[in-house]
Amino acid sequence: MSEKRPASTMNYREVRDELAGVMDHAREYMKPKCHACKICNSVTCGAAGGIGGTERRGTAIRNYEKLQQIHLAYDTLYEGGDGSEIDSSIELFGHKFRAPIMSGPFGHVASFNPSTHFKDDYEFTKALLDGTMAAGCFGWTPDTVGEDVFEGPLRCLKEHGGIGIPAIKAWGADEIRMKIRMSDAAGVMAIGHDIDCVGLTYLSVNGKTKTYPKSAAQLKEIFSITKTPYILKGIMTAAGARKSVEAGASAIVISNHGGNTMDQALASIEVLEEIRAAVGDKLTIIIDGGFRHGEDIFKALALGADAVLVGRPYIIAAEGGEARGVELYTQKLVWELQNAMRMTGCRTLADITRDKVIVSKEF
């Protein structure tokens, strides 16, 4: 078999067509909880219980639907070039990336994807990190219940030069400190703390494993043992964002955990502008929840985000094509973002301003 060309040297149609085959191949490994639908909107997977922790998928569906109510205001009447001048690059936590795109942390893959072909979380994470890095972006690594589900992916992250972010769940303070030290030893560029995991079924009020919400003061004390920037993942209010500043966080992820922690929450995109207004430039703002295309990423940047974390499609891409599938999907996102920039007269990310999108009245 001939060696595959780097996705960045292919044209959009070539990437799209090869990726379509990857997604079709993924279906046998995604059942029964995911059908690898052509439109990944959380509607169909609700009947199968979904990938995450709840069978009630109202919040997950809302994430996708609210993004569809935002539209790009394109204008190509400007002095431009052949497209090579479009620069979607960004610097985050001391590293430069081709685009503000990252894959999410997926732990204990066999629990949410029983038909997986990966033998363990290390192997699954390696596909994600290899693929995102091949396309000039990066990924997060997981933390959850089970053997080697934090250590294995973290080892993989260390082998990738620490370019990525480990997520630590809301355990007791001593365990969090232990995992902070492990992350520092791996040389990671930033450390994530998954604060809204306390709503996942196995970690909730009646779950089998205990987790603990913490105040800003508690978090500041816990993370005082490291100089590595840390990120609070699971912020959904302006008040929570302000408390993140008090806690000493460098960044937040606006997230409702893909709708898996609580039903009937707002979509993450609905609270983005309010949160940005509340904290200004005091925090780097990442967002997740229903993002599927590069145009969706453009929408988030226009409304105040610095970067976007993408979830479920990366699972499907990895199952269908391993690192190659992840690379192709990431390349597709990058090109869609860059084309949206070209169509709206945005040469750099700084040019993506609020007037570049129109929000439907029903939003």
Sequential pLDDT tens for the chain (363 residues): 457 899 999 999 999 999 999 999 999 999 888 888 888 998 887 544 444 445 568 899 999 999 999 999 999 999 999 999 999 999 999 999 999 999 999 988 888 788 999 999 999 999 999 999 999 999 999 999 988 999 999 999 999 999 999 999 999 999 999 999 999 999 999 999 999 999 988 898 988 899 999 999 999 999 999 999 999 999 999 999 999 999 999 999 999 999 888 889 999 999 999 999 999 999 999 999 999 999 999 999 999 999 999 999 999 999 999 999 999 999 999 999 999 999 999 999 999 999 999 999 776
CA 300: distance to chain centroid? 12
CA distance 351 to 16: 27
Whole-number pLDDT of residue 2: 52
Residue 253 in contact with residue 196, Cβ under 8 Å? no
Whole-number pLDDT of residue 241: 98
Virtual torsion, Cα 125, 211, 168, 58, nearest 10 deg: 60
pTM > 0.85: yes or no: yes
Q: How many residues does the chain have?
A: 363
Sign of CA dihedral 201, 205, 210, 211: positive
Structure tokens at 96: 């430069």
Whole-number pLDDT of residue 363: 67
Whole-number pLDDT of residue 46: 54
Map residue 69 onto helix, strand or coil: coil
> DSSP secondary structure string, 213-232?
---HHHHHHHGGG--S-EEE
Residue 166 in contact with residue 154, Cβ under 8 Å? yes
CA distance 132 to 211: 30
CA distance 154 to 160: 10
CA distance 312 to 320: 13
CA distance 30 to 116: 7
Whole-number pLDDT of residue 43: 87
CA 212: distance to chain centroid? 23
CA distance 93 to 211: 28
Residue 191 in contact with residue 154, Cβ under 8 Å? no
- Please report the beta strands in 195-266, taking only residues with DSSP state E, as ranges in sequence order: 230-235, 251-254
Structure tokens at 35: 């059908």
Structural domains in the chain?
A: 10-359 (3.20.20.70)
Q: Residue 103 carries which side chain, given as an amino acid letter?
A: S
CA distance 18 to 60: 28
Tell me the CB-side half-sphere exposure of residue 142, using CA atoms within 13 A: 25
Q: Which of 59, 58, 21, 61 is nearest to 39 (CA)?
A: 61
